[in-house]
Structure 1
């Protein structure tokens, strides 16, 4: 049985990050259902190099490794904090460096964190269109969390934990319906 190569990308600009914690919680829940091999990419870890990169072919090695991990993953879990009703600029910049055909039909579970529920539509109005450009398959159930759902970067809200379980179960059903990941 092969493991699903999942890459969790967090667009947070600080460490620790609620967006990274959310992505990690989602991947952990998926891993309870299907075998996964996970790579974590945090934009915060690329802050020294990413802003100056104008082309993937001229990127520093850490940025190239992140791009290659994204492009070769079987599936992505993407999570970003919401700033001014959208994802972070450096999260977008990272995906600007991904080859435009690398994500075709790749399943992507969308997640975001924000200061209030007012930002919850970022999943539908910002993230889905971004990954639609790539012709990726955005999974139907996304996860939004607000600041009150965390204590010390740990998820404490039971409703959010239930939403993560629902999204992970849906992702696992998708993966197991496709022969290469059948259990």
Structure 2
């Protein structure tokens, strides 16, 4: 029997990245609860072939490997930093390369980060419609964290941790837990 896989994808190019750390935290919590492995990537992990690719076959083998894991994941945790009120362009380009049916029914936890509260609806007005196009099963709870929710790149807001726990519980409910493990804050 193949072990379950939770894949996180962050639309950030900057390292270190609060967004990738946020996605990693959520993906790790889901994986721990369902007894799965977790793999987390950011756009930079797809390498230099991504920006010029017009189809999946144009990607180098490393990038195709990331895409294969993303498409085959049992749960996807997807997020982006907010740029000009939306997700990053390369994040969108990555999903533009996918077959429209490739994420059908896949449980997806949506998350985003941004400089302030005015961007908090990115998860509802940008990410949810994107994954709706793919007929993915987005969790009801989406999570947005602003700069004030982090200290030295680490999520410190208990309110955001609580939302993340709620989204994780929803994903676990959909996929089914293989062991009983409590969520740490």
- What TM-score results when the alignment is normalised by the length of structure 1? 0.91
- Residue 42 of structure 1: CA displacement? 0.9
1:92 aligns with 2:124: no
Structure 2 unaligned residues grouped into runs of 5+: 180-185
Structure 2 CA distance for aligned equivalents of residues 130 and 123 of structure 1:
10
Pick which of 152-161 and 40-49 moved more: 40-49
Matched residue SS, 1:52: coil
Give the RMSD, CA atoms, in angstroms: 1.6
User: C-alpha offsets along residues 125-177 of structure 1, whole Å, 9 cap, x if unaligned?
Assistant: 1111101111111110111000111122211112111111111112111212x
Instruction: Give the alignment of 1:155-170 within 5 angstroms.
Output: 155-170=155-170
Structure 2 CA distance for aligned equivalents of residues 2 and 52 of structure 1:
34
Runs of 4+ in 1 over 4 A off after TM superposition: none
User: C-alpha offsets along residues 32-70 of structure 1, whole Å, 9 cap, x if unaligned?
Assistant: 422111121210233522111111112111211121111
Structure 2 CA distance for aligned equivalents of residues 59 and 96 of structure 1:
13
Structure 1 CA distance for aligned equivalents of residues 119 and 66 of structure 2:
27
1:120 aligns with 2:127: no
Q: How many residues align?
A: 179
Structure 2 CA distance for aligned equivalents of residues 160 and 134 of structure 1:
27
- Residue 87 of structure 1: CA displacement? 0.3
Q: Which residue of 2 aligns with 1:173?
A: 173
User: C-alpha offsets along residues 72-115 of structure 1, whole Å, 9 cap, x if unaligned?
Assistant: 11110001001001000000111111221110111100000001
Q: Which residue of 1 aligns with 2:134?
A: 134
Q: Which residue of 2 aligns with 1:19?
A: 19
